[in-house]
Structure 1
Amino acid sequence: MKATTELRSVIVAVLFGFLVVCVFVSHSIHANLASERHGQKVAIDESMSKIELTGLEQYVDALIERGIAQHTIPGVTVSIVKDDKVVLLKGYGFSDVSSQKMVNPRTTLFRIGSITKTMTAIAVMQLVEQGKLALDVDINEYLTEFKIPDTFEEPITIAALLSHRAGFEEADAGNLLSSQAEEVLSTSQYLVTYMPSRVWPVGYNMSYSNYGFGLLGYLVELKSGLDLATYMEQHIFSPLGMHNTTLREPLGSEATSMQRALQAHLATGYFKDTVGRNLAKPFEFIGHIGGAGAVSATAENMALYMRSLLQERRGLISPSTDSVMKQRLYDDRALATGVVHGMFEGNLRGYKYYHHSGATLTFSANMVVFPEIQLGIFIASNMVGGAAQLADFLPRAILNKYYKSLPIQIDESPQLGAYNQFMTAPIVKRKLEEYTGSWLSTRRSYSQLEKVSALDSSVIISLDAQGQLVMRRLGSHTKFVLKRLKENVFQAQSEKGSIFYFYPDSSGEITRFSASMWSGDYEKVSLSHSPFFFYFVMVLASLLSLSTLLLTSFQKRRAKTHHIFKKVTRIVAGLLLLTVIGFIFMNSGLVLDEYNFLINFPTLEVKLLLCLVLVIAPLTLVKVVGLAYIWRHEESGMLYKIHYSMFTLSCFSFLYVFWVWNAIGFNYVN
């Protein structure tokens, strides 16, 4: 018995010793691997820091000059920062074509549009540091002159606004920009007058919102006691030496207007008309919602700003706050579009970057910073369209030329303290058919006339002949296959490998998705509410209207008299065709003045066109009354009776789709 006990003790001791040795060896291996990985990272960092952008100026010159020639861009300004140094600062073309005034990157001010939002976010976080604002507090606790309606149980917070997750619809057509200084409202007046509806619970969808950042700018004013332009000057621009940057606009008043010295160096904005001419346009005012996009700046000053962003926003906030600002406030889509305190994040060739683009109707800009390789790129032009494409292309082209691809490593673990409010559902094995359908961007109007602009943003997901899930935009022949990575997560086999997260509703049905390439989520819509159905009804109603005019014209020659219903039918057919033609022209941008159409929407021509729809409505009711008469009238042939009935039904469908897209009603008259 004693021998057995001793034997057991020896065995236990041996096993214990073996376990200790295994743990030690395992720890050594992991330590060596970690050291090796760290060594690799250090080696990568060192190799990246040693990269010299040889021939950068010549390379950028060639890209910009080719873009200017291809898109007839008036002027471009560029600044590039590397390792805390400005390695390229240059202007191209004209800041004003008529006077042949050249772009000077040190003195010429360009509108940077929504890049302003990145500055507004910093201003907010400065006040958070001071304890004057809090990320998770209901913003109604700060608002005094007005309140945001409690449409949903969850209150809107600063965290939601910084992440574009407040749930606002987009309703800024015709009021975001103004060409007249006297039309500019105070920020509080604008926020009250043009308050969009809350259409989603807080955190549910990501939908880019100018109004949301207008609110953030207003909160900065309320809690700092300064107007936003003054606050930016004192707490962001001056500390960084950005003396040629301003949130002010040429309003005429000496007290609040942009300094005359800066006004003299403003680039003229240009709008390309339907025949390709660049038309000079007046200054676009956006000061009433300045926190969303009112800044004007030089490329040199934007280089100073990028240097600060690459160095933990030095001179503006503490390193700990900078670290917070690089983290998402919502953790439900690690691989898809991420907004980190007013900036979008992503990966390009394996390098993490933060960026924001900006645009008005006459200016476009883009800013991208890569902290790992200490590279920042800013580009702006005094035109949109092709210039915006160039602004998006330049950073990618530079990285593709000078940096080798690294494997993308993404940590999907939830972030500490994240505001995770997205809807969850049990994991089930889904058929690909469940992801098919017609989808519309959540960045659209739901209650206003401008909802019709979403007709061009539809996405169709279907199965191809091989049974693969395929995505394409309505009206586009370009499509790409979605490959399933895991439950409800797909990756595009093109579109730069974008990731798509699909979400089920409370019943388990897939109803929306988010992507890593668009500034908003997408929701599934029924066939009757889809753009496809709208265009189908338009085409069908047009064909029946045309055939009605031909048929009644033929009958008019044979009959001496016509009853009232046939006359009404001809009138409705003519009005419907006129409406369709007018809609096609407006949807194609073929209007009397496209710039005026966009900045003053809805214009008089829009209102007149929609009045035709209002006239068609009562006349359609007359046609319904005439159905009984037509079917009883013995002289009318069967073909005419069927055609009359089909045309009447198409008129109802026509009115229905215009109602669905908010184009019937009096909301566009005011």
Structure 2
Amino acid sequence: MKSRRIRSMTIIISAAVVLSLTSASVYAEQMNPIEFSVPVNLTQGASAVPAVPFANPEPALSDGPREAAEVQAFLDQLFASSSIKQKAGAVSVSVVRDGQVLAAKGYGIVDQIAKQPVSAEQTTFRIASVSKVFTAAAIIQLVDQGKLSLEDNIEKYLDGFKLTNPFNKPVTIANLLTHTTGFEIRDPNNSNFLFEPAAPAMALKDSIFTDFPPVVREPGTSYMYDNFASRLQGYIVEKVSGEAFGLYMANHMFKPLGMTSSSFTQTEDLENRLAVSYDAAGAAVPAYRLQPNPLPEGGMITTSADMARFMNAFMNSGKAADGTVILSPESVKAMSTYHMSIDPSVPDTTYGFEAPNPVQTKGLFTITKGGDILGFSSLLWLMPESKVGIFVTYNKNGDLRDALISAFMDHYYSGHTKDIGDPGYVQQSEEELRANFEGLYKDLRTSALVTRVTAAGPGKLITFDIVSGRHEFKQAGKLLFIDEAGSPLAFKLDDQGQVSYLKYPNPVGYAAKTPAAAGFPDIPDNHPFASYIHANQSIGLIKDDPNKPFRATDTVSRAEFIHALVQQFSLPPSANPSDFKDTGGSPYEAEIQAAKEIGLLTGTSKGNFEPNRPILREEAAVVIERLLAAVSGQQTPRLPAKLAPGTDYWAVSAVSLMVNLKLYGPEVSTAADGFTDYGSKRSLNKQELAVLQYSLLFPGSE
């Protein structure tokens, strides 16, 4: 039983590592620890939009899909492509326009044993964060009925609970809907997955008040994709309606729309029809339930045929085919209007939807919602002005949806383009750009996602981050820049007119500009490691007391090294008993066990870890090699490096990787003959750890 639990935990924890380093492949994809993202190339910048292996059988259209036969032929050809088939084994898709279902089709097989074909009506899928659209719609229904106000302070519905909020501004229902609460991050993690059939599920109310986040940013001023805000919406639906959330959704959303295969409760019938998901090795992902039960931010199960019913009703001003009204026209408009934008050209959120990458929209108004959960990915893409919608869901985590949307928009909306920004704007000088924009920007949700911004000439910026690599930008407005692929980089000013946030590598959230480092009394600016130590202090990787000496040459223990990586990449500690005999007295025991479970370390002889022994540089390199393999989803390139003697055979590939990716600082030297002395046998010290942690944020950059 323990081996199954560890394997299940390993799947989730590995996902958390990946997601701490990756964001959406395209603007539709969310960054959730229960959600996956496309693996990142660690040495090259990721493309904003993946290549689509599809050639149109007929001349591309320009006014959208109209004929059912043509749409179905388009989908058939796309999903017959071998490159598309590799992206998922079971796919279900629906396309609607102006009340008509143009396509509702399944492709592939439900599972590899029974070989049952996917049915758009019968095969169910987990749609993850697309669930948030329905949770938001439930809130808006209650606003329609006068039972809620968007301006209500949420404390009104919290049973007397008072938020920790240092700002003279309440968190409102509207803040919940637009993900502008200012809450400290509270994301789902491995504890939200129940792999044991008999394990009891936590109740929704208990999950809310067990770990209610404080408000750490002024409400309404910043956008951060907020799972807790959506969960809280579900609880407020319960409080206001008097019905359990799952029952409310069944009675007031699914039944009126005829969505007979949709639920936030994992019934036996829906579970039996659920597509089986497989991991990269071809093994079936273990069956699981979610907690709390229900999970408003990501627990919905449905079919593509049911989603077609919702899409048509939503774009018919909230009215179902039989005339049943689920939302007022005014509420549909509110859910279709962007209420938060970092820049007029770069919107963030409606009530329930997010903005797609403008590169993919062909300049047409679009609202979207993507979702990823263990073994499943989905996307809802709506174009309200033409009443066109497309939904896709499949049994694998990856970018199939991006390929579909790119092909769909290229085929049906050729010739539509729209430049963003202010074409008459006068670019700023390099000096102005340096003064206004240069610095480090830390993502509000993911501590390992830090963007470095530098000026590169008049009207030009360069960014580097671990998600998208290096990109160059041309100025298109006072606070707006455009990269090589046409994707925007936008900045936001605070009340004092200083740049406070940017939006780029994480499409569903902002990154905050980090303050200048406080420094340490023993680390002057001319210290050889000062730039690394000060940068890490600025972004919060180093939390030592700035009033005391840093003691840069103190050695780092094996336990401290694991702790530093676990904290940097937001890896959740394990709840399992330790596999090591000697970690019981370590404050980092649960973190060491988590690292063990995802394969970052194996320990030493006789079942020990030796947590207090200083870690050797070559040992640290092996852990990093395994970490990068977990992040990328594949083995890192084993390129040989010219290493000076002194590295054990088992660490040569890891040390070569460190040298090739330049994950080192002034402590490493290269001789005239090209051989690099990595110092493999030396103990790692604090200043060298600072270099390593900083370099991991920007691997391979110059």
TM-score exceeds 0.5? yes
Counterpart among 240, 247, 250 of residue 223 in structure 1: 240
Between the aligned partners of 2:341 and 2:287, the Cα distance in structure 1 is: 43
Question: Which secondary structure state, in structure 2, belongs to the residue aligned with residue 101 of structure 1?
Answer: coil
Alpha-carbon distance, 1:520 to partner = 0.2
Against the structure 1 CA distance between its residues 139 and 204, is the aligned structure 2 distance closer, same or farther, given a 3 Å change threshold? same
Between the aligned partners of 1:408 and 1:571, the Cα distance in structure 2 is: 56
Alpha-carbon distance, 1:326 to partner = 2.2
Against the structure 1 CA distance between its residues 99 and 147, is the aligned structure 2 distance closer, same or farther, given a 3 Å change threshold? farther
**Equivalent pair of 1:335/1:516 in contact (CA under 8 Å):** no
Question: Residue 191 of structure 2 aligns with which residue?
Answer: 175
Question: Residue 172 of structure 2 aligns with which residue?
Answer: 157
Against the structure 1 CA distance between its residues 191 and 73, is the aligned structure 2 distance closer, same or farther, given a 3 Å change threshold? same
Q: Partner amino acid for 1:87?
A: L
**Equivalent pair of 2:62/2:416 in contact (CA under 8 Å):** no
Question: Residue 191 of structure 1 aligns with which residue?
Answer: 208
Q: State the Cα deviation string for residues 558-580 of structure 1 (Å, max 9, x = none).
A: xxxxxxxxxxxx9967x549947
Alpha-carbon distance, 1:350 to partner = 2.0
The yes-or-no answer on 1:436 pairing with 2:438 is yes
Alpha-carbon distance, 1:58 to partner = 3.2
Q: Partner amino acid for 2:108?
A: G
Question: Which secondary structure state, in structure 2, belongs to the residue aligned with residue 338 of structure 1?
Answer: strand
Listed as ranges, the matches of 1:352-431 within 5 Å are: 352-385=365-398, 389-408=399-418, 431=432
Alpha-carbon distance, 1:269 to partner = 2.9
Q: TM-score, normalised by structure 2?
A: 0.63
Q: Partner amino acid for 1:281?
A: P
Against the structure 1 CA distance between its residues 322 and 377, is the aligned structure 2 distance closer, same or farther, given a 3 Å change threshold? same
Against the structure 1 CA distance between its residues 153 and 289, is the aligned structure 2 distance closer, same or farther, given a 3 Å change threshold? farther
**Equivalent pair of 2:165/2:216 in contact (CA under 8 Å):** no
Between the aligned partners of 2:164 and 2:254, the Cα distance in structure 1 is: 35
Q: State the Cα deviation string for residues 71-101 of structure 1 (Å, max 9, x = none).
A: 3522111111123211111111222223323
Between the aligned partners of 2:151 and 2:570, the Cα distance in structure 1 is: 44
Structure showing greater radius of gyration is 1
More displaced stretch, 605-614 vs 207-216: 605-614
**Equivalent pair of 1:179/1:283 in contact (CA under 8 Å):** yes
Question: Residue 484 of structure 1 aligns with which residue?
Answer: 475
Between the aligned partners of 1:357 and 1:306, the Cα distance in structure 2 is: 15
Q: State the Cα deviation string for residues 178-201 of structure 1 (Å, max 9, x = none).
A: 434625211111011232332211
**Equivalent pair of 2:192/2:292 in contact (CA under 8 Å):** no
Between the aligned partners of 2:452 and 2:245, the Cα distance in structure 1 is: 42
Question: Residue 262 of structure 2 aligns with which residue?
Answer: 245
**Equivalent pair of 1:502/1:513 in contact (CA under 8 Å):** yes
Question: Which secondary structure state, in structure 1, belongs to the residue aligned with residue 180 of structure 2?
Answer: coil
Between the aligned partners of 2:481 and 2:420, the Cα distance in structure 1 is: 14
Against the structure 1 CA distance between its residues 592 and 270, is the aligned structure 2 distance closer, same or farther, given a 3 Å change threshold? farther
Against the structure 1 CA distance between its residues 526 and 94, is the aligned structure 2 distance closer, same or farther, given a 3 Å change threshold? farther
Listed as ranges, the matches of 1:21-36 within 5 Å are: none
Alpha-carbon distance, 1:391 to partner = 1.2
Question: Residue 261 of structure 1 aligns with which residue?
Answer: 269
Listed as ranges, the matches of 1:72-471 within 5 Å are: 73-144=88-159, 146-172=161-187, 173-180=189-196, 182-249=199-266, 258=267, 260-272=268-280, 276-288=281-293, 290-314=295-319, 315-330=325-340, 333-346=343-356, 347=358, 348-385=361-398, 389-408=399-418, 431-433=432-434, 434-444=436-446, 454-455=447-448, 457-464=449-456, 468-471=460-463
Between the aligned partners of 1:136 and 1:76, the Cα distance in structure 2 is: 40
More displaced stretch, 125-134 vs 458-467: 458-467
Against the structure 1 CA distance between its residues 579 and 535, is the aligned structure 2 distance closer, same or farther, given a 3 Å change threshold? farther
Question: Residue 501 of structure 1 aligns with which residue?
Answer: 490
Between the aligned partners of 1:267 and 1:511, the Cα distance in structure 2 is: 44
**Equivalent pair of 2:127/2:393 in contact (CA under 8 Å):** yes
Listed as ranges, the matches of 1:657-668 within 5 Å are: none
Between the aligned partners of 2:153 and 2:318, the Cα distance in structure 1 is: 27
Between the aligned partners of 1:378 and 1:128, the Cα distance in structure 2 is: 27
Relative contact order: is structure 1 or structure 2 higher (C-alpha 8 Å, sep ≥ 6)? 2
Q: State the Cα deviation string for residues 479-524 of structure 1 (Å, max 9, x = none).
A: 332222332x2231334x2333323345544232134970000112
Counterpart among 686, 692, 699 of residue 651 in structure 1: 686
Question: Residue 525 of structure 1 aligns with which residue?
Answer: 514
Against the structure 1 CA distance between its residues 134 and 503, is the aligned structure 2 distance closer, same or farther, given a 3 Å change threshold? same
Alpha-carbon distance, 1:343 to partner = 0.5
Between the aligned partners of 1:582 and 1:354, the Cα distance in structure 2 is: 39
Alpha-carbon distance, 1:217 to partner = 0.6
Against the structure 1 CA distance between its residues 471 and 144, is the aligned structure 2 distance closer, same or farther, given a 3 Å change threshold? same
**Equivalent pair of 1:473/1:479 in contact (CA under 8 Å):** yes
**Equivalent pair of 1:68/1:74 in contact (CA under 8 Å):** no
Which structure dedicates a bigger proportion of its chain to helix? 1
Counterpart among 595, 606, 612 of residue 615 in structure 1: 612
More displaced stretch, 209-218 vs 57-66: 57-66
Q: Partner amino acid for 2:343?
A: R
More displaced stretch, 201-210 vs 610-619: 610-619
Q: State the Cα deviation string for residues 404-458 of structure 1 (Å, max 9, x = none).
A: 333549899xxxxxxxxxxxxxx999711131222221123xxxxxxxxx32x22
Against the structure 1 CA distance between its residues 231 and 592, is the aligned structure 2 distance closer, same or farther, given a 3 Å change threshold? closer
Against the structure 1 CA distance between its residues 111 and 67, is the aligned structure 2 distance closer, same or farther, given a 3 Å change threshold? farther
Against the structure 1 CA distance between its residues 493 and 654, is the aligned structure 2 distance closer, same or farther, given a 3 Å change threshold? closer
Alpha-carbon distance, 1:399 to partner = 1.5
**Equivalent pair of 2:342/2:490 in contact (CA under 8 Å):** no
Percent pairwise identity:
24
Question: Which secondary structure state, in structure 2, belongs to the residue aligned with residue 77 of structure 1?
Answer: strand
Tell me how large the CA RMSD over aligned residues is: 4.5
Q: Can you give the 5+ residue segments of structure 1 that lack an aligned partner in the other structure?
A: 1-45, 250-257, 413-426, 445-453, 538-569, 594-600, 620-638, 662-670
Between the aligned partners of 2:160 and 2:227, the Cα distance in structure 1 is: 20
Question: Which secondary structure state, in structure 2, belongs to the residue aligned with residue 270 of structure 1?
Answer: coil
Against the structure 1 CA distance between its residues 501 and 605, is the aligned structure 2 distance closer, same or farther, given a 3 Å change threshold? closer
Question: Residue 473 of structure 1 aligns with which residue?
Answer: 465
**Equivalent pair of 1:579/1:613 in contact (CA under 8 Å):** no
Alpha-carbon distance, 1:657 to partner = 9.2
**Equivalent pair of 2:338/2:348 in contact (CA under 8 Å):** yes
Question: Which secondary structure state, in structure 1, belongs to the residue aligned with residue 391 of structure 2?
Answer: strand
Question: Which secondary structure state, in structure 2, belongs to the residue aligned with residue 344 of structure 1?
Answer: coil
Between the aligned partners of 1:325 and 1:526, the Cα distance in structure 2 is: 36
**Equivalent pair of 1:81/1:376 in contact (CA under 8 Å):** yes
Alpha-carbon distance, 1:54 to partner = 6.2
Between the aligned partners of 1:296 and 1:194, the Cα distance in structure 2 is: 26
Alpha-carbon distance, 1:333 to partner = 2.9
Between the aligned partners of 1:244 and 1:341, the Cα distance in structure 2 is: 25
Question: Residue 596 of structure 1 aligns with which residue?
Answer: none
Q: Partner amino acid for 1:358?
A: G
Alpha-carbon distance, 1:368 to partner = 0.4
Q: TM-score, normalised by structure 1?
A: 0.66
Question: Which secondary structure state, in structure 1, belongs to the residue aligned with residue 349 of structure 2?
Answer: strand
Between the aligned partners of 1:141 and 1:571, the Cα distance in structure 2 is: 52
